[in-house]
Amino acid sequence: MIYLDYAATTPISEEALNIFSEVSLKFYGNPNSLHDSGSEAKHLLEMCRKELAVTINGEKEGIYFTSGGTESTILAIRSIIEANKEKGTHLITTVTEHSSVDHLFKQLETEGFSVTYLSVDKYGQIRLEELINAITKNTIFASIQYVNSEIGTIQPIEKIGEILRENDVIFHSDCVQAFGKIPIDVKKASIDSVSVSSHKIYGPKGVGACYINPAIVWKMQLPETSHEKGFRPGTVNVPGIAAFTNAAQTICNQLEEKTKKYDALRNKLLSGLLGMEHKIIIEGHPVDQLSNIIGLSIIGTQGHYVMLECNRYGIAISTGSACQVGKEKPSKTMLAIGKSFDEAKQLIRISFGNQTEEIHVDKVVEVLRQL
């Protein structure tokens, strides 16, 4: 099987897997326990917290380990909003956020908060003027993803951060797709809170992290929670966190090298599709684009059919975010960029990873031309 669905999940690296096994055997104590075994696990946990903070230029005290990107996002948004709701009840997000963010904001609307959902242009980027006009004296919080998981469009995050900082609006960014693919500097981009995930960067599943600027006030969601300074309950997954930290360090150290590789693979794929403009549309921003994610609209054919046909030829691709698979509704990203209901169902997503080679791209082009 030629696997080209790395935006959905990645295989754990051998190094991360070995670290997971070693830590499971040697640092099995509960980091909240006061005996030596607990203290050893606690020491390793704090080392991981410090090292992960370095990858986003954040503060060690702002890192909270979780079970993944979705939990990080939900806890970050809820804990910050509830601690600051006396200042206002207006929130801002976009129409193209991950389903976990979208569903949460819909729920918050039933709890007395008002939400502005920013539109996007045909490439999937928000309009900065619309963001500026959406901010009111009652606005306390905004959540805007760094990279769209379906078409790979990168938001102008530094400009967004600057606008929100000038208006004293707390800024959270879902960086699950961006982390390890493009540089993330929370200070330079004026981001107050970030959510990231392990299984997107060759770490184990069931692990993630949230960063909240230590200067930002947040409120624990379950009273008397003792783990992660009250951020989340449950015994801390030290082996998973150690493996995740290793994967994060590795991918961030290889960022420049991998970007060159994915740029070359992307160019090869797009060159192979030349002459098929009447059948295939390349989605996403022409410049502000994550190189390893390629969203394609197959004109007149449902993406689900193309995905199944590719699978028959031994190629694994997707029809967009894995969280939307099996639902009758088409991609909300595609609808947001101006596609009709039927056109939005024509999306397929190809995403490259560590094991992707040029021969795999040649095979995809061959199969797409046959279809």
Burial of 134 (0-12, 13-18, 19+ CB in 10 A): middle
Query: What are the b/e assignments for 210-233, b being 16+ CB within 10 Å?
Result: bbbbeebebebeeeeeebbebbbe
User: Which H/E stretch holds residue 123?
Assistant: none
- pLDDT 10s digits, 141-161: 999 999 999 999 999 999 999
**pLDDT surpassing 60 at residue 326:** no
Q: How sure is the predictor about 224, in pLDDT bands with cuts at 50, 70 and 90?
A: confident
Q: What is the mean pLDDT of residues 21-35?
A: 92
Closest by CA position to 173, among listed 159, 162, 157, 187: 157
Closest CA to 51 of 257, 248, 209, 204: 248
Q: What is the pLDDT of residue 9?
A: 98
Give the per-residue pLDDT at 226: 82
Tell me the pLDDT band of 330, cut-offs 50, 70 and 90.
confident
CA angle at 15 for the pair 12 and 19, rounded to the nearest 5°: 95
Residue identified by tokens 């080392």 is 47
Of 172-186, 191-205, 270-284, 323-337, which range is least confident? 323-337
pLDDT digits (tens, 9 = 90+) for 38-81: 999 999 999 999 999 999 999 999 999 999 999 999 999 999 99
Q: Which two tokens stand for residue 2?
A: 């030629």
Helix (H, G, I), strand (E, B) or coil at 313: coil
Q: Is the pLDDT at 270 greater than 80, yes or no?
A: yes
For residue 107, what pLDDT is reported? 97
Mean pLDDT across the chain, nearest whole number? Answer: 95
Distance CA 37, CA 72 (A): 28
In this predicted structure, the answer to whether residue 277 has a pLDDT above a threshold of 90 is no
In whole angstroms, give the CA distance from residue 293 to residue 149: 8
pLDDT score for 225: 87
227: pLDDT confidence band, cut at 50, 70 and 90?
A: confident
Q: How many residues does the chain have?
A: 371
pLDDT tier, 325 (very low <50, low <70, confident <90, very high otherwise): low
Residue 211 to residue 63: CA distance in whole angstroms: 5
- Asked if residue 271 has pLDDT above 80, the reply is yes
Structure tokens at 231: 């951020």
Q: What pLDDT digit, counting tens, does each position of 158-184 carry?
A: 999 999 999 999 999 999 999 999 999
Check pLDDT > 70 for residue 32. yes
Enter the DSSP assignment of 238: H
Amino acid 290: pLDDT: 97
Burial bucket for residue 284 (CB in 10 Å: 0-12, 13-18, 19+)? buried
**Paired residues of 171 in beta bridges:** 142
- pLDDT score at 321: 59
What pLDDT sits at residue 125?
Answer: 98
Q: What is the mean pLDDT of residues 252-276?
A: 96
Q: Give the helix ranges, DSSP H, for the chain.
A: 14-26, 36-55, 69-84, 99-109, 128-134, 157-166, 238-253, 255-272, 303-312, 332-336, 341-344, 358-370
What digits encode the pLDDT tens for the residues 72-114? 999 999 999 999 999 999 999 999 999 999 999 999 999 999 9
pLDDT for 55-66, tens place per residue?
999 999 999 999
The model's confidence at residue 322, banded by pLDDT at 50, 70 and 90, is low
- Does pLDDT of 323 surpass 60? no
Active site members:
323
